[in-house]
Structure 1
Amino acid sequence: MSVVIRDPLAEDFEQWKVLFHHYQAFYRGHIPEDTVEYTWTRFFDPDESLGAFVAEMDGKLVGLIHYLYHDSTWNKNKSCYIEDLFVDKAARGEDIGRALLLKVAERGTEEGAFRVYLHTQEYNSAGRSLYDSVLPLSSFIVYRKNLPL
């Protein structure tokens, strides 16, 4: 089985949406459908800083990664933040997560980003094992508060 890491295509929406919902469930989250649809459209807008890759195996999507660029006060170049990474359970163990991470790092290099980084939950031991092998662990602790809309 060969895996292809590529940009998403418009016709990938239904398969991508299933993967994205599984990703949300893993993190015990729920994103409203209108936000999911809006996110999808942003991947195809050249004025957006949001990007994505999908992993395809035998004609089926088995993974996704979403990233975005943002300005920094520490460097003239942008940072690349990986917001979402998910590989279908049936396809795990094929190094798809690693390939997706490396593809974002490659794209970040092409786009002139000075770093790539991500956050994860403490309980995500499988993910953390992968991240530890690709990205150095930061000493930063994340504090956050969701603001009312």
Structure 2
Amino acid sequence: MSDIIIRPLTAADRAAWTPLWRGYLTFYKATLPPELDAVTFDRLTGGQEPMGGFIAMRGDEALGMTNWVIHRSTWSERNICYLQDLFTVPEARGTGVGRKLIEAVNEMARAKNCFRVYWQTHESNLQAQELYNKVADKSGFIVYRQPLA
């Protein structure tokens, strides 16, 4: 574990980030057009949006990534951080990489004076929930979605 580096995502990480992003989408059986990869990556690394990411590396091997978004809230004068995406390669699961990625987001959010970090996962993602139940409180809220055409 000590040889794993968690660092902010940079524009130079595109080749390492894309397979992780695609693995995340595959894990959740989501299909997005490949051209959206560039838009998302540019938003995460361009410095113009209130969003960014972290990447977990062991040498030249990318083991995981997380993407975050900071936004306003009606519950506080301070901003809140949404940990939007978190993914580790299958062989890194259960090794502490996910925990380290969450900790990196927490540290960044504290530095930006956010009052909370929150995220969601699918109810079937039991392995991730084992970690999440150790590091955070389950809110009890249910997420609803309404697509807009």
TM-score range, shorter chain: over 0.9
* Corresponding residue for residue 13 of structure 2: 12
Identity %: 35
Deviation at 1:106, TM superposition (A): 0.7
Q: Deviations over 1:51-72 (max 9, x none)?
A: 1000001221110000101111
Deviation at 1:45, TM superposition (A): 2.2
| Cα distance in structure 1, aligned partners of 2:69 and 2:11 | 19
Q: Deviations over 1:77-122 (max 9, x none)?
A: 1110011000001222320000000110110000010000001100
* Corresponding residue for residue 135 of structure 2: 134
* Corresponding residue for residue 109 of structure 2: 108
Deviation at 1:46, TM superposition (A): 2.1
RMSD: 1.1
* Corresponding residue for residue 94 of structure 2: 93
Tell me the SS of whatever aligns to 1:104. Answer: helix
Which stretch of the first structure deviates more once superposed, 7-16 or 29-38?
A: 7-16
Deviation at 1:28, TM superposition (A): 0.6
Structure 2 unmatched ranges of 5 or more: none
| Cα distance in structure 2, aligned partners of 1:5 and 1:69 | 19
Deviation at 1:9, TM superposition (A): 2.7
Deviation at 1:11, TM superposition (A): 2.6
| Cα distance in structure 2, aligned partners of 1:144 and 1:107 | 28
TM-score by length of 2: 0.95
Aligned residues: 148
What does 1:1-149 align with in structure 2 at a 5 Å threshold?
2-148=3-149
Instruction: In structure 2, give the amino acid aligned to 1:74.
Output: W
Instruction: In structure 1, give the amino acid aligned to 2:45.
Output: F
| Cα distance in structure 1, aligned partners of 2:138 and 2:9 | 29
| Cα distance in structure 2, aligned partners of 1:16 and 1:78 | 26
Instruction: In structure 2, give the amino acid aligned to 1:33.
Output: P
Structure 1 unmatched ranges of 5 or more: none
TM-score by length of 1: 0.95
Tell me the SS of whatever aligns to 1:43. Answer: helix
